[in-house]
Copies of this chain bind each other. A is one copy, B any other.
Amino acid sequence: MTKKDLLALLEGVRDGSVAPDEAARKLRAAPFEDLGFAKVDHARALRQGAAEVVYGEGKTAEQVCAIVRKLREGGARTVLATRLSADKAAALAAAEPDAAYDPASRLAVVGPLPEPDGAGEICVCAAGTSDLPVAEEAARTAEALGNRVVRLYDVGVSGLERLLAHVGDLQRARVVVVVAGMEGALASVVGGLVDVPVVAVPTSVGYGAAFEGLAALLAMLNSCASGVSVVNIDNGFGAGFLASRINHP
């Protein structure tokens, strides 16, 4: 049951087209199945073809596997499991042989990647090598949700020529995701080079007065370039997910 279905149901009750008891039955039954330890949320399937998402942090390997199984039995073609430690990923691979795991971003994709069906490309830029795990989390999330992704890595502002050598890629994108720690200046520079939405992801890369990503977070919130918005520190998944929404009108 997608959110649209849910809202349609509620509207139906209100306009009389759906009987209340029918609606109540559906409401209780549909949106989640109870596995004892967690409610499997079927409502997150946004479009035909895109992946379902399982958030792996704080769940046991058994729980992750059970939820993935349930989702696939419920018809999901592709399932994305995030924040998955290596041992949980191993358990998942044992249970679902077509699971592909990336240790850097700690993402697993179970099932085939969907065909890209977004309006354009998503460009993921990362400032430094240490930002790559978060950047990959964004990029792979976007791919699993049906987007074509272009990666521009190691293009931090202290070597502007590296970024300028790729203005064409930036120009072509429908959305740009900027991943940067330390002073997070890349978001402003990219924001000044493009005319499309920029999703900025501060990372906890840096030390001392970086304060675990606070410096980059504040910098990005105060970007002098218009068209930049910010997600939580290290939230590559959130950036990829949002970029996909922007790219799927």
**Interface on A for B, CB 8 Å cutoff?**
2-4, 6-7, 10-11, 13-16, 18-21, 23-24, 27-28, 31-32, 37-39, 41, 43-44, 46, 53, 57-59, 119-120, 127-130, 154, 156-162, 164-165, 167-168, 171, 174, 182-185, 187-189, 191-197, 199, 202, 204-235, 237-239, 241-242, 245-246, 249
Contacts and interface: CB of A to CB of B under 8 A. Distances in A.
B19 A16 contact: yes
Which of A19, A127, A130, A232 has the largest number of chain B CB atoms within 10 A? A232
A129 B217 contact: no
Given A129-B38, A129-B59, A219 B184 contact: yes
Contacts of A41: 159
A136 to B, nearest CB: 13
B27 A20 contact: no
A62 B7 CA distance: 38
Contact of A224 (B38, B43, B183): B183
Contact of A215 (B2, B16, B158, B218): B218
Contact of A16 (B20, B38, B127): B20
A213 B165 CA distance: 32
Contacts of A159: 31-32, 41, 43, 192
B185 A224 contact: yes
A14 B161 CA distance: 13
Contacts of A19: 16
